[in-house]
Amino acid sequence: MTLVSLLLVAAALIGIGLYGALSQQSFVMLMMGLELMLNGVMLAAVAFWALSGAGAPEGQLLTIVVMAVMAIEMAMGFALVVAVFRTNQADMTEALGELKH
């Protein structure tokens, strides 16, 4: 369990999450990609805190902030899904063509 191996796992999670966020057509799947990226970010933050930061408390605080970001992203994402679904019965990103002008 070295810093390098932890960071590689985090990089893999961020890469998979980026792939999902860019490729998925469904809003909720897109949000899952974003969540996976934040998952990797939190893992990297904790890894740096434990193995490279000498336990500086700001490292843990950063992870708490990322968790708050995650909760906000989730709540706003679902509210947007509900709002879009109400107006044009859509759950796909392609259905939002009328935002183009």
Partner 1 sequence: MQTSLFADAIFWVLAALAVFSGWRVFRTDSMVRASFFLLASFIAVGAIMLLLAAVYLGLAMLFMMAVEMMVMALFMVMFMMNPAGLNPMVMVHQHRLSIVAGGLAFAVLGALALFVEFPDRPLPAGLDPVASLGREMLGDSMLVFESAGIVLLATMIGVVVMSSHRGRFGAADQGSLPPGLEPGGVPAGPQPDAEGSGGHHHHCH
φ and ψ at residue 66, rounded to 5 degrees: -65, -40
Name the minimum Å distance from CB 84 to partner 1: 10
- Return phi, psi of residue 24, to 5°: -80, 140
Q: Tell me how far, at minimum, the Cβ of 34 lies from partner 1, in Å.
A: 11
Tally of CB atoms within 10 A around 89? 8
* Least Cβ distance, residue 92 to partner 1 (angstroms): 7
